[in-house]
Amino acid sequence: MPKTRKTLLRELTWVELRERLPENPIILLPFGSHEEQGPHAPMGDYALTERIAELVAERSGALAAPIIPFGYADYFRPIPGGIQLRAETFAMVLDDICANFLNHGIKRLVIFNGHSGNYPVIDQTTRLIKQRTGVVIPCLNVWRLMTPEAYKDIYGDKAGEAFGHGADPLTSVYMHFYPDLMRMDLIQSTAKKRVWDLPTSALNAVKFRGVDVNIPLDVNEITDSGIAGGNPRVASAEAGAKIVDYIVEFTVAFLKHFDQTASQAAKEISR
C-alpha cells in the first residue's frame, strides 16, 4: 500500500485511476516547448513547466498528466536543435489528449501552458472542443501569471529589464532548478537588430510610433544571440525560487477556485 497519495498520472495504475474517478479529479495538462533560450540556457524549457506542474499537483490534489514537450514555435525554426510542431499538428495533439479524458467522462481539465506561443492554437482548439462537447477548458499561461507588482517585489528597480525571451523568468528558474546546466559565460551580447529601420518588439513585431506592428519574424532576424528581450545578467537562483513559489501558489489557488465554483460556472457558460 503506497504511503503517500500519488499525484502524477504516469505513476498511477489504471485501476488506481478508476478508483479516483468518483472524486471527479482535476487533471492538469502541462505543455511546453523545446527551443533556444539564449546561448546560456538549455533548450528543453519544458522541463521547467514539468517540475512546476508536479509541485502544483502535490500541493493541490490535482493529477498532473505527462508533459507534452514540443509546441508551436515557428519563429525558432532557423535555430538548430529546436523541435517545432506545425500549428495543425499541435492542435490535433491537444484535441486528441483532451478527447482521451472526455471519452471517459473526465471533464475537469486545466491546461498548464509553459510556452506562450502555444496559446493562440490552444484557444482555437479549446473553443472547438467547447462547441463540440460543451466542456470549457481553462488555460493557465505559466510565464504570464506574474503581475507587474510581483516582478517589482522580486527584482526591485531592475524589474523593467528582467522580462524577455532569453532572459527572465526562465533564466532565473533554470538557475534555481538546474544550475549545473547553465552557461552564463556564453552571454556575449544582448543587442537586438532593427527591421525596416525600426526597433523589434517581442518575437513578432516592430515598434512604430510606440505601437507594436506585427510582422512574421524569425528569431534570427531579431537577434544573433537568441536573446530577444530582457537582460539575463539580472537573473538569479534566488529570483527563480521566488518565481516558482509565486506560480505554484497562484495555480493552486486557481485550482481551488475551479474546484469550488468555476466548474459549475463552466457548465452554465456552455448551456
The ranges assigned to domains in the chain are 9-156+244-269
Task: State the fold for domain 9-156+244-269.
Answer: Rossmann fold (3.40.50)
pLDDT at 190 (0 to 100): 87
**Per-residue pLDDT, 265:** 58
Q: What is the DSSP letter of 75?
A: G
Specify the pLDDT at position 219: 94
204 contacts: CB under 8 Å, gap ≥ 6: 75, 214, 215, 216, 217
Q: What pLDDT is stored for residue 257 in this prediction?
A: 95
Give the pLDDT score at 15: 97
> Which segments of the chain have a pLDDT < 50?
1
DSSP classification of residue 26: -
pTM of the predicted model as reported, rounded to 2 decimal places: 0.93
Residue 147, pLDDT score: 93
For 204, the grid coordinates are 513578432
CA distances, 178 to each of 2, 12, 47, 75, 254 (Å): 29, 27, 10, 26, 27
